[in-house]
Each structure stands twice: as C-alpha cells, then as structure tokens.
Chain A
Amino acid sequence: GAGVSQSPSNKVTEKGKDVELRCDPISGHTALYWYRQSLGQGLEFLIYFQGNSAPDKSGLPSDRFSAERTGGSVSTLTIQRTQQEDSAVYLCASSLLAGGGTDTQYFGPGTRLTVL
C-alpha cells in the first residue's frame, strides 16, 4: 500500500513568511509524529497526534510552530514568521498504534525547508 507522503518536497521562503507543510500518513495509522532533521544531525521530535486525543506538543521549539490533524488523518505543520534557523528537513512518521510505544514508525520523504 501507499506509504507516508509529504508535500511539498522542497520549500524556499523568505525570513518572516509563514509556511505550511503537509503530511498524509499511512491509511489506518492512528499515531502521527513530526520530527525535524537539521543538516548532518539526528532527528528531533516536534509533536505527536494519537487518534482524537489532544496532541503532545512538548517538542515544539517555539510558539511560532503549530500543527493540526484533521479527521484523524492528514496533518499540517505551520511555522509562522520563519527564521533562518528553521531551515531543516521536516519529517513526518506514522504508526499503527501508539500503545506501549513499540510500534514501527514509518517515515515520509520529508520537506526540505530553506529560509533565506
């Protein structure tokens, strides 16, 4: 079946502009995660959605970052007033269930964000 998809694949924006990044998880997966990968670095957790529960926002670096998940499926990550340090690859992952946290997380191809 189809894997996790993300759009756009690349986004170049000017400092101060807002951007929206989209994630389509694998159908039927209830858990959705956003991570950020800066150049040459590991992945950094941002936010987590599980079903209709309130999201876990503990990884968001500032209040300029927000995310929503509509209908328990598609998710959008929004970065307001972008800064150059926001430049990174933003990766989305989904898993079938989050219970116990031992389910495999499948990653999307990522969105490469460049803030000029």
Chain B
Amino acid sequence: GENVEQHPSTLSVQEGDSAVIKCTYSDSASNYFPWYKQELGKRPQLIIDIRSNVGEKKDQRIAVTLNKTAKHFSLHITETQPEDSAVYFCAANSGSARQLTFGSGTQLTVLP
C-alpha cells in the first residue's frame, strides 16, 4: 500500500521567513496530493492541492511543487505569519477507495 513520509516533524521560523515541508510517497498510481492545516482541536482544513498533471501550483503565499519522477512533493509558505502556526499534513490518494494516506504531520511555529 501507499506510504507517505513527511519531514520535518517540527519547524520553527521567524515571522516573515519562508517555511518548507517535504513529503515523499511510494505508490506511483497516486495522482492527487492535498495539504491540510489543522489547528489545535479543530478539523483538518484543505489549504492547497495538486494533481499529477501539473508540477506546481500557487495560491497567494502558499505553493506546492510535485516531482512525479522522484515521488516527492513540497509545501512552501512565504512571508509567514503567526496565524500560520498549526500542524500541516500532506497526503496522497491510493487504494481502491482512493482514500488519502497521510504523512505524520509537521508542527509549524511562527515566532513573532
């Protein structure tokens, strides 16, 4: 089955700096890669996603890149703000149900 690995597990940056989170996946059939942000005690919220027919997608301060050959994808947050502090999860779809297999999460802390 699919295996998604996510690094780093914790990341601290100064406000205004950039943050990068990286994930790798194992199933070459995966074709959808969402990123979710989860604040403490809240539900996961989709922040950006990418499908395998594109290599990069941007939405304001957030961008995601996908390298299908190497089976890795990354989240880039520029001009970080304290409200960006949360746990971020990458995921890849797989299996007969096209369920999401999640990475283990990255606790991002943006220091004011």
Q: Which of A56, A59, A91 contacts B44 (CB 8 A)?
A: A91
Rounded to whole Å, the gap between the CB of A95 and the closest CB of chain B is 9
Is the interface on chain B under 10, 10 to 19, 20 to 34, or 35 or more residues? 20 to 34
With an 8 Å Cβ cutoff, the count of chain A residues facing the other chain is: 25
CA distance A41 to B32 in the complex (A): 21
Chain B 32-46: CB-based contact to A (< 8 A → 1; otherwise 0): 101010000011111
Chain B residues with CB under 8 A of A48? 97, 99
CA distance A102 to B98 in the complex (A): 8
> In the complex the two chains form, is B42's CB within 8 Å of A56's CB?
no
Q: Which residue of chain A has its CB nearest to the CB of B4?
A: A42
- Determine if B13 is an interface residue (Cβ-Cβ < 8 Å): no
Chain B residues with CB under 8 A of A105? 34, 46, 100
Give the tally of cross-chain contacts (CB within 8 A). Answer: 68
- Determine if B85 is an interface residue (Cβ-Cβ < 8 Å): no
Chain B 89-107: CB-based contact to A (< 8 A → 1; otherwise 0): 1010101111111111100
CA distance A56 to B49 in the complex (A): 24
> In the complex the two chains form, is B103's CB within 8 Å of A42's CB?
yes
Q: Which of B6, B34, B91, B99 contacts A59 (CB 8 A)?
A: B99
- Determine if A101 is an interface residue (Cβ-Cβ < 8 Å): yes
Interface-centre pick from B31, B46, B49, B98 (highest chain A CB count, 10 A): B98
> In the complex the two chains form, is B42's CB within 8 Å of A109's CB?
yes
- Determine if B51 is an interface residue (Cβ-Cβ < 8 Å): yes
Interface-centre pick from A40, A48, A50, A102 (highest chain B CB count, 10 A): A102
> In the complex the two chains form, is A107's CB within 8 Å of B96's CB?
no
Rounded to whole Å, the gap between the CB of A42 and the closest CB of chain B is 4
> Ordered nearest first, which 4 A-B pairs have the shortest CB separation?
A101-B98, A48-B97, A42-B102, A56-B97
Please report B residues at the A interface, Cβ cutoff 8 Å. 6, 31-32, 34, 36, 42-46, 49, 51, 89, 91, 93, 95-105
